[in-house]
Structure 1
């Protein structure tokens, strides 16, 4: 029970005065248990009560002010009584020696346990962490924060329980100022605690708070599950700097018994922002308890849906809202009726007729032009609507309206309408892109529920939803501002705030509602880039279709109408191949979905204020007057070759792919270390230059004073004289058509020019390009942060048609470009 608790060799005689003492006050010293920087811990005998105790003796020569503070905190901690806290019996000074008396607990520390066993299984680790959290919560309730939680300060008693000890540097709970920040008067002037277990705010010297201990407990749990330190560095100061500047992520190799639900609980505890962590140790303890022992009506933790303690916790909160059970019952009944082979047309009609408002809106919808083929304009009964439109079509409309009706009574209705219309736009697009009538209705439902977790969070947890939006879409500011936060992927942000990802929440609720397995599968977020070939598996295609439709709806919702067409066109290029549709058909489907959404919005009487971003979903997706580049977006070059030439060409492609892949690996290795930005950028350019035999490769970067991209450096023929020619405006001049380079950078679209002499291209080339730079084919790869281009990679060849790029090369080129963006983010 020392500051370090690791047994060490005794100090030379005379270096610690207490080692020469057989007795301190009434306590007889028996043997040394451990030694730390501040104190030595002895096993001692207390003759007054005839018991063995642990005696922690502060080193002589310690500053008197520190001694007084130490004793004051010891007396405060001595009032803590809890089964998972090692109690302090007393604290005093005898003969110039200050000491604390603890209960003696036979057994080793958590350090000793992990040395013997290595990493612990999930159940054992969680049970020990729960003991620790229990003890911490009791301390926090008494106003005491530990501030030095680590494995050597956790004793494992004879019953296998974890007991927290050594509150020797404990501090009183901080009181925040009204704005949610700690006032300067409450800041500590020094960092208190052990590097590697400090929270970001502790590393910054902030006043003590319970969230500091929650962070340390989460670090401990990761260490128990992995068998290794999460934040270790031989230089302690680097560990302190790391926790201040980096978001720790739960390692991916914690074993099969660590499921997504447990990972989400831990990830929330590791949040850099204290407000995004578990608010206290008790909440994290409860989440772990429910993961460990799920309630009887909840599926076992570890199932593919990710349900567990966090899901049940959120469901309990939603059940307290009167409309959630009603909505759940309505969705479940309608879904059951439409899937049942025994139920009749009248059963579904009767279910809908129970809700007068639902009936009226549904009849208005089926009488729109959208359903003209089914007899629009003359449908006056639900029974007739079901007979003409079909079970699946009526089900989808009814489920959409149920979500809307429950939403309308909320105080934050405007945000909810935006989310509802975004989901409806995605659903309409998915239906337009589907091949057959039956598939189209399933596609509609899959896309509408694809982001159900996000929608439910907006409905029932608006504050948490705002926090997630804040870290996934940080406020825009000047490019490359040092303190600007980098956006966080939504699945990580939602897991951090809610304790589980949006996907997991949505799938868990969908399962409760009895929605089909195929729909639940479509709600899972696909990993990585879209496949390069058309997807043949119907369920997998449905999943990618739902994902693509929601991505497009998100882009339209967050993009100004003038730029929406080019952004959607770029999305079409990304998804068209795997879905088996042309990019042109994708764009037409998006515009048709918009038209239908506008009709539905009018029928449902959805009033949107003039400043609502949802109005973008209703705006026409038409190209701007100078948009003549849609056919030039980066695609694989289609080249007809003779059979004899194919083998040689294939070898060239394979060598190019190998060189690009090797370059990506080299850049990845460099970025793990303390890299220099210019060195990484030169590595990226060299990989592109060598792999594909370009004549020149040039890197351009934004000049903030001129708001234009200028050439900075490059490789290849006459590059020194060519680099200075590049001057690309990032903002269009009033009344002037953007040249080709300006248009590409303003839209952030990867572009390949196969023949620069083609009239449509030559007319758009800027004057500066027609001099020393001029090439007959070239490639443009813009680099963007928060939707704005800040840099450009240019590569050219002298011969028209010289850029023969396959899908693999294109994918690897994009990866190198993305590594360049990441390098800027890390250095910023």
Structure 2
């Protein structure tokens, strides 16, 4: 066996350069790697020892042939099996994600519905595997990945013909093995079902079902004890059924488990669907949601508009990046908005705000401009849909959403809240848009029924689908992990129900989005005829609740009020009178702590740009940024960290706040050290906001130099590129956990400040070239 060092970043393994260690266990390690012969990036599974005796390149390819033939959205795509430097290597297609064991180490438990969705994704993969005549053999957190969209991917298959030696496993981290396999029997589909049961247990409880530093004791417990979810877990109303499903999957006797991955998947889906529908027992509603979720899993994202993608990619690739302009371009495309909100609220992003992202601006700040540019180019495009009628119907829905959003934003009384108002209007149409794309026949039936029976489309959807578009949209939003705040604004007053004045901030967005959708639906539906009296009365209620005139609503739509809107009809006599006699509504107001005449960071950005135009030196430019960030956020310390080319170390060069240059001398870390969190973040160019660095799961992962000399309870790091690599970084911290509270505007402006500083380092790099 070769002594090639596969534990060190940038080590070579045959034709591959190992860039970043993702995870490892006793058998193998997973690396981000680059093929130096083709300059392509891959994900490598590198076995610590040959998994089978006497393995040759030919036999290794034969052993993994069936795995490489697997192709499924929930399976890590194996591309090629190779022997490099006497190591067995499985070359896999790269993707952005993290291994589930790492997620569990950071967060311990996962919300119940999200855990079930992860298990369903793994089971979808296993159904495909079993249909191909294979088994996985050892489903465990180290074998499951979460990509940035929240999708679960299954990897780390046991090679065909290899027997598992339980005594070699690291059982202190958990024993993930079916009892019959531990007893020496061959794994089958029911063994994989048990593995999913163990996986669900870990996600729900926050620890492995069986763990012991002594493998023999762990094996004895696995084979002699009945595993059950402890008291206090799954004890909420409606969760008893899920508890029974998990216990069945964990049965020691394979005959007492669900007999296939499909059977367990169906049981979990049957439990999940009513939970997503607020307990609805309507079977038609359940079938509709299940069909829609299945189509979402198979067909993926809504198609984006080609022009929107071109605009986003052009703006993101510009030398002077304007985040506000990019956000506006994204907002103009309904599918892009859905995609970003879904991605950034997924489990992958939970350590940096996932589950609480409600605006596109914050999505972009979290994801990064270049990642947004790359992602936008991978999405299906509306113009490529073959069915012209479907393409036109979906384009029509997108146009309706945009009109509703514009009305909501124009009626919003504060500029800072316009984006949230716009998004509220878009998200209130989530169910309608998804049905149009994924269930187009049903969408046509809803429209036909609404026209023929004179019903609202929500009523017609209830008859055709078993639930309203609104209920369907909220249910899907829950599967995406959208925050409760956003799910609340998707609930609008129904026709005939009173429209009350907003009491909370979210009520404003709910009503602004609601009135935008009433107007957008009215202009589409009533373009050729008089607006109904019922609609006019409803708009009167919205106007009164929002503190505007009815005419303001029509003007926000960019049009004069329709003829009927200027008249009031007496229901008894049928005569019409001018509506100008209406009493003016009580003026309400939206107040938010985010509103400020001139944002301090915006002022600093203008000052920095002016300094750059005047050609002022680096010292003066970075001082503008450091002082502004320190004062605005009430930071304990702000530091500019620069890479020393000769030593290859990052070093704090300028410090603002409570610490002096002596403290700055301790803020030092190497450029290439995957074990150092700061080094890894700079290598990836990843912006990071750590709200609570004292959390046990996170504190232990911070480097020793940071814990000893800095010990910040909360901090953020923004790497600065010189066009080739990270040349510097802007660091800021706070004296209290959760002390760094950034609004969407804050995040956007911080990114803009960093991108302006980038020009200084790009100029230096060009001078060297």
Return the TM-score normalized by structure 2.
0.33
Relative CO higher for 1 or 2, CA cutoff 8 Å, sep ≥ 6? 2
Return the TM-score normalized by structure 1.
0.31
- Which protein has the larger Cα radius of gyration, Structure 1 or Structure 2? 1
